[in-house]
């Protein structure tokens, strides 16, 4: 009896000691299973080229021209001289000759033979400094604003949601880890800031006798073409402030310069401000054109999208309405939503 009791006590003691030893030996592994690794969300890639637009709704099309394409005769565009300008330039005057009033005898590729030149037109830039400040600070992002750390899937989802909301409020579209300008957002922000400038251009059109829809659109186009071309120009001087190489209309006016998509957004904003005509942004692989909702004329380069024809316009140089560089003829393009739809609908 005493031996049986001693044996039972010995087994119990051995079992307790063995269990404690096993728990001690496996404690680090058990704790490691409950520790989560801190990860940092990867930064999205910045898409600066116009062809990479990630707009909410786009259409696909091909540029058509009644004239034969002659790529061999293409020459680089000759950009108009820059207007005299300062950061805020209400007194700066932009002058240009209306290319749509020229009597063009013939075209050789991208070179036109003009019989007569259009009249000289001048208009001063008018822009509110408050709108310029907002165009600088309210557009784009700093990398540290969209970078976040997470340990669990729930933390990642929350961080991604906050990042997406910030980008959405700053005019940035995120698609497949690539950020690019949200052009519809830029139009919605741009139109209210260009009303005064659009009124000046309408007055200039009346003085020039350009009272038709096409004539009014051509005056606004001529003004935008006369602004200096500067590639990937941004409104901010902060190298950490990412604005994807494009500017809001107020900033483009304040600097009297911009690249193809900055000038295209400005023109669409001006046209919509005074309801001249509908317009669309047309992205080629490396360039942005504007499509105008005008009646198609013989010889006009055009693109069909959104169930209608759009007369094409080049904004970076003195080109008449309905004529673009021959290298673009036949290109497949991405066409943003018409400004009439963008500014009528809300997210």
pLDDT of residue 289 exceeding 60, the answer is yes
Mean predicted confidence (pLDDT) in 135-152 = 91
pLDDT of residue 73 exceeding 50, the answer is no
Backbone angles phi, psi at 283, to 5 degrees: -100, 120
Mean predicted confidence (pLDDT) in 238-264 = 92
| Beta-carbon count within 10 A of 21 CB | 10
Q: Going by DSSP bridges, is the β-strand pair 302-305/58-64 parallel, antiparallel, or unpaired?
A: antiparallel
End-to-end C-alpha distance for the chain, whole angstroms? 86
Query: Which has the higher per-residue pLDDT, 21 or 114?
Result: 114
Confidence of residue 259 (pLDDT cuts 50, 70, 90): very high
Sequence-distant (≥ 6) Cβ neighbours of residue 38 within 8 angstroms: 149, 150, 151
C-alpha span between 206 and 54 (Å, rounded): 38
Among 108-117, 156-165, 208-217, 317-326, name the one with the lowest average pLDDT.
108-117
Helix H or strand E segment including 258: strand 257-258
> Mean pLDDT across the chain, nearest whole number?
79
pLDDT of residue 164 exceeding 60, the answer is yes
C-alpha span between 107 and 109 (Å, rounded): 6
Tens digit of each residue's pLDDT (9 = 90 or more) over 220-248: 999 999 999 988 788 888 888 989 999 99
């Amino acid at each position: 009896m005493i031996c049986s009791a001693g044996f039972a006590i010995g087994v119990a003691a051995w079992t307790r000691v063995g269990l404690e030893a096993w728990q001690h030996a496996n404690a680090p592994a058990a704790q490691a299973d409950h520790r989560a690794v801190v990860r940092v969300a990867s930064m999205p890639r910045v898409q600066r080229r116009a062809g990479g637009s990630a707009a909410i709704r786009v259409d696909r099309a091909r540029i058509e021209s009644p004239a034969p394409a002659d790529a061999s005769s293409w020459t680089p565009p000759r950009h108009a001289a820059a207007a005299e300008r300062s950061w805020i330039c209400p007194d700066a005057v932009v002058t240009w000759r209306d290319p749509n009033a020229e009597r063009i005898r013939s075209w050789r590729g991208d070179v036109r033979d003009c019989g007569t030149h259009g009249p000289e037109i001048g208009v001063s830039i008018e822009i509110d400094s408050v709108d310029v400040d907002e165009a600088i600070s309210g557009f784009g992002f700093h990398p540290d604003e969209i970078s976040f750390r997470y340990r669990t899937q729930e933390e990642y989802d929350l961080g991604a949601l906050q990042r997406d909301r910030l980008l959405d409020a700053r005019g940035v579209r995120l698609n497949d880890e690539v950020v690019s300008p949200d052009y519809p957002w830029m139009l919605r922000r741009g139109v209210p800031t260009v009303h005064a400038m659009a009124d000046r251009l309408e007055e200039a059109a009346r003085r020039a006798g350009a009272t038709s829809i096409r004539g009014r659109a051509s005056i606004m186009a001529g003004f935008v073409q006369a602004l200096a071309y500067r590639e990937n120009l941004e409104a901010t001087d902060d190298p950490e402030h990412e604005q994807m190489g494009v500017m809001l209309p107020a900033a483009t006016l304040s600097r009297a310069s911009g690249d193809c998509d900055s000038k295209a957004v400005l023109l669409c904003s001006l046209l919509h401000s005074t309801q001249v005509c509908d317009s669309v942004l047309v992205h080629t692989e490396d360039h942005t054109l504007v499509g105008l909702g005008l009646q198609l004329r013989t010889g006009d380069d055009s693109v069909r999208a959104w169930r209608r024809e759009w007369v094409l316009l080049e904004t970076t140089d003195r080109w008449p309405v309905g004529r673009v560089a021959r290298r673009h003829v036949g290109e497949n393009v991405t066409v943003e939503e018409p400004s009439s739809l963008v500014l009528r609908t809300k997210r």
